[in-house]
């Protein structure tokens, strides 16, 4: 998948993978930092020492000396995986997605290399992006991105998660915190994500759609989904 053409107001599904399938984070601190990056790097203003500036502040608090926040993109949904990540972004400024992704990849590589004494980019080339062309596809791709990927991390893997949907759902919405799935499951707004996509569902509708999508995906792979928990 390459980066498909997009413009202001386009919704785009982004994937960026680690080089050679290697992990792009190694600790919970790294994974938590990813959420921090999604917020602070999504801004026209980028101070040279922005991490130092926020060091003693509350989560997502901005220093008084910074200008008013002016986002590059509207983040709709996200999932951090061991060796890649997914984002659903709405472009709200010209070249907003490419500028944001350049910052995000650069910051992650620089931090990883400084912390673990490595060199070079931790990513496998440029990000990939698929433009989302309809509201129907937008509604479908959100649970696909969040639920399918989080379920792959469930103990026993995706198939076991599908077979034990309610347990896997509880794990993905209450235990695994490195995605926007917990927020969507509760209809909860956060400083990171824009609520445009979230408002397309009630919490109950989102879960039902996620279950239908997950079981349909599993059935296509030949899994018997007639007696799921």
How confident is the model at residue 228, as a pLDDT?
57
How confident is the model at residue 6, as a pLDDT?
84
Residues of the chain with pLDDT under 70: 1-2, 223-229
Q: The whole model's pTM is what?
A: 0.93
Tens digits of residue pLDDT in 182-206 = 999 999 989 999 999 999 999 999 9
What does the chain come to in residues? 229
Q: Collapsing DSSP states into helix, strand and coil, what is residue 223?
A: coil
Domain range annotation of the chain = 11-131, 134-220
Place of tokens 């997009």: 6
State the Cα–Cα distance between residues 42 and 53, nearest whole angstrom. Answer: 16
CATH 3.30.70.1290 fits 11-131, yes or no: yes
Tens digits of residue pLDDT in 114-132 = 999 999 999 998 999 999 9
SS3 content of the chain, % helix, strand, coil (to 5): 45, 15, 40
């Amino acid at each position: 998948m390459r980066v498909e053409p997009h413009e202001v107001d386009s919704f785009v599904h982004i994937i960026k993978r680690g080089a050679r399938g290697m992990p792009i984070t190694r600790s919970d601190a790294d994974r938590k930092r990813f959420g921090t990056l999604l917020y602070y790097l999504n801004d026209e203003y980028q101070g040279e020492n922005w991490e130092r500036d926020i060091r003693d502040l509350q989560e997502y608090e901005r220093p008084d000396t910074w200008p008013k926040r002016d986002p590059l993109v509207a983040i709709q949904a996200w999932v951090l995986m061991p060796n890649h990540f997914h984002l659903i972004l709405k472009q709200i400024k010209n070249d907003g997605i490419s500028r944001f992704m350049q910052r995000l990849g650069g910051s992650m590589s620089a931090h990883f290399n400084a912390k673990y004494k490595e060199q070079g980019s931790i990513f496998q080339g440029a990000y990939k992006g698929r433009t989302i062309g309809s509201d129907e596809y937008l509604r479908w791709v959100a649970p696909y991105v969040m639920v399918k990927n989080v379920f792959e991390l469930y103990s026993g893997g995706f198939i076991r998660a599908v077979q034990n949907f309610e347990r896997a759902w509880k794990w993905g919405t209450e235990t695994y915190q490195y995605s926007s799935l917990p927020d969507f499951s509760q209809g909860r707004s956060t400083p990171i994500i824009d609520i445009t996509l979230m408002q397309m569902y009630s919490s109950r509708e989102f879960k039902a759609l996620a279950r239908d999508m997950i079981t349909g995906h599993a059935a296509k792979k030949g899994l018997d989904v007639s007696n799921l928990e």
